[in-house]
Amino acid sequence: MSLSSYYAMWSLFISPFFSEDQDDKRGIKLISRKQVFVLFFLALSIGCSSPPAQQPSPGERLNTAREHMEKHHYELALKSLEELKPVTMGTKLGGEVQFLLAENKSLQRKHAEAEVDYRAYLTLYPEGPFSEKALYMTAFSKVKQIKKTSIGFFTLRSYIPHDRDISTLVEAGSLFEQYLDRYPSGEWKNQAEEMADELRKKEGEHLLEIISFYLKKKQPKAALARTQQLLKGDYPDPIMTRARELAVRAGKLLSAEVDAGSP
């Protein structure tokens, strides 16, 4: 309907009440021209206004976040996922949103943040469809925080350094062992075994260094205690062989101290 048609209809409707700001003899308050135009355009705007655009559903927004990640638009995906997290908490989509948050940060090499989000997924959705990868990636993220990079001839090599505090290294190894116990035929079985062996070797090498330190300081009792600790573990054969050799040295040193103290 045209604008003129709307106006004509309104004129017919309100003509009995229309006057130049005067009262009807019957006591009815008549309306002015100005009020007519205000009412007319108000009704017109209401009648012609379009309904608000429909907002995308959480599922549609999650699809958009997936597409952003596939295109490596990680910041856009992260923004969408963080907005979806409170909306989908406790719903069927909530687990995937939490998992994708962790994946997003891992792909951006924010390994400490990724570890936190993988752990959150395992806590909130322990039997969820992404539990296997979340457990593996928790351990992987932990190792990534330990590893350093060295520069060689035309190459970059990552390695696990020798640190005094190996608690993080031990925790990472324990996580890989946990993965292997829970998923003996898991998708990342080979990688987990390889990393668990490397971390166990680093732990054994660290203990050997401590034993050698005690021997240099002429502290055979402390060296023997560490040797016994190492020999009870499951370390590679070369480390176990070296531990036995150091145990013999510590035993001889202790015997010499006892002999020297004898009357």
What domain range includes position 18? 6-45
Same domain, 119 and 172: no
Q: How confident is the model at residue 34 (pLDDT cuts 50, 70, 90)?
A: low
Q: So what's the pLDDT on residue 106?
A: 97
Q: What is the pLDDT of residues 38-89, one digit of tens each?
A: 454 555 455 555 556 688 899 999 999 999 999 999 999 999 999 999 999 8
Overall average pLDDT of the 165-181 stretch: 91
Same domain, 32 and 101: no
CA dist 230 and 164 (Å) reads 16
Q: What is the CATH number of the domain that holds 189?
A: 1.25.40.10
Q: How confident is the model at residue 169 (pLDDT cuts 50, 70, 90)?
A: confident
Same domain, 204 and 232: yes
CA dist 133 and 9 (Å) reads 69
Total number of domains in the chain: 3
Same domain, 218 and 174: yes
Same domain, 253 and 176: yes
Q: So what's the pLDDT on residue 153?
A: 46
3-state secondary structure string, the chain?
Answer: CCHHHHHHHHHHHHHHHECCCCECCCCCECECHHHHHHHHHHHHHHHHCCCCCCCCCHHHHHHHHHHHHHCCCHHHHHHHHHHHHHHHCCCCCHHHHHHHHHHHHHHCCCHHHHHHHHHHHHHHCCCCCCHHHHHHHHHHHHHHHHCEEEECCCCEEEECCCCCCCHHHHHHHHHHHHHHHHCCCCCCHHHHHHHHHHHHHHHHHHHHHHHHHHHHCCCHHHHHHHHHHHHCCCCCHHHHHHHHHHHHHHHHHHHHHHHHHCC
Q: Which residue has the higher pLDDT, 18 or 207?
A: 207
> Does a structural domain hold residue 151?
no
> Does a structural domain hold residue 153?
no
Share of the chain above pLDDT 70, in %: 71
Same domain, 96 and 39: no
Same domain, 119 and 199: no
> Does a structural domain hold residue 64?
yes
Same domain, 190 and 107: no
Same domain, 172 and 254: yes
Q: How confident is the model at residue 120 (pLDDT cuts 50, 70, 90)?
A: very high
Same domain, 41 and 83: no
> Does a structural domain hold residue 29?
yes
> Does a structural domain hold residue 106?
yes
> Does a structural domain hold residue 177?
yes
pLDDT at 23 over 60: no
> Does a structural domain hold residue 27?
yes
pTM for this prediction:
0.71
pLDDT at 259 over 70: no
> Does a structural domain hold residue 238?
yes
- The CA distances from residue 82 to 40, 56, 69, 95, in Å, are 46, 16, 14, 13
Same domain, 140 and 70: yes
Same domain, 27 and 77: no
